[in-house]
Amino acid sequence: MTSLIIDNLHKSYGDLKALDGVSFAVSNGEIFGFVGGNGAGKTTTMRIILGVLAANSGDVLWNDHPISLEDRRRIGYMPSERGLYPAMTVRDQLVYFARLKGVSAKAAAQAAVRWTERLNLAHRLDDKLQALSLGNQQRAQLAAALIADPEILVLDEPFSGLDPIAVDVMSEVLREAAASGVPVIFSSHQLALVETLCDRVGIIEQGKMVAVGSVEALATPEHPRFEVYGAPPEAWMGSLPDAHILEQAPSTTPGSTSIRTVLEIPGGDGQAVLAAALGAGPVTSFRPSRPTLTDLYRHVVSDKEATE
Partner 1 sequence: MSTPATKPAVSSPAAPAGWRSIFLVAEREVMTRLRQRVFLISTAVLVSAVVLGILAAHFLGGETHVMQLATTDSSFAQELEATTHAMGIESNVTVVADRSAGEAQLSSGDIEALIIPGSDGNLTAVVESTLDSTLQPALHGLAQQLALSDQVTSLGGDPTTVAAAVASANVTVDALNPPVERDIGQMVVGMLIGILLFVSINICGQMVAGGVVEEKTSRVVELLLSTVKPSQLMSGKVLGIGAIGLLQVILVGGAAAITATATGVLSGMGLNLGISLLWGLIWFIIGFATFATVLAALGALVSRQEEVGSATMPAIMLMIVPYIIGINVLPNDPTSPLATTLSYVPGMAPFLMPIREALGVASLPEQLLALAISIATIPVLVWFAGRIYGNAVLRTGARIKLADALKTT
- Contacting residues toward partner 1, per CB under 8 A: 47, 50-54, 69-70, 72-73, 75, 77, 79, 81-88, 96-97, 99-104, 107-108, 111, 144, 146, 148-151, 173, 176-177, 180-182
Minimal distance, residue 70 CB to partner 1, in Å: 5
Cα 8 to Cα 77, 84, 208, 220, 232, distances in angstroms: 22, 32, 10, 27, 50
Q: Taking the CB of residue 4, how many other CB atoms lie within 10 A of it? A: 24
> Residue 5 CB, nearest distance to partner 1 (Å)?
19
Q: Residue 86 Cβ, how far from partner 1 at the closest point, in Å? A: 5
Cα(306)–Cα(308) distance, rounded to whole angstroms? Answer: 6
Nearer to partner 1, 77 or 297 (CB): 77
Spatial CA neighbour of 231 closest among 292, 175, 278: 278
* Shortest Cβ 212–partner 1 spacing (Å): 24
CA gap 282, 260 in Å, rounded: 13
- Smallest separation (angstroms) from partner 1 to the CB of 263: 44
* Nearest to partner 1 of 89, 261 (CB atom): 89
At its nearest, how many Å lie between partner 1 and the CB of residue 164?
22
Strand partners, 4: 26, 62
Check if the beta carbon of residue 245 is closer than 8 Å to that of residue 256. Answer: no
Are 29 and 153 contacting, i.e. CB atoms less than 8 angstroms apart? no
Closer to partner 1 at the Cβ: 43 or 261?
43
Residue closer to partner 1 (CB basis): 73 or 298: 73
Q: Which is nearer to partner 1, 50 or 262 (CB)?
A: 50
The least CB distance from residue 82 to partner 1, in Å, is 6
Choose between 146 and 277: whose C-beta lies nearer to partner 1: 146
The residues facing 230 across adjacent strands are 259
118-151 burial: b if 16+ Cβ within 10 Å, else e: bbebeebbeeebeebeeebbbbbbbbbbbbbbbb
Contact (Cβ atoms closer than 8 angstroms) between residue 200 and residue 32: yes
Name which of 90 and 283 has its Cβ closer to partner 1: 90
* Distance of alpha carbon 113 from alpha carbon 307, whole angstroms: 53
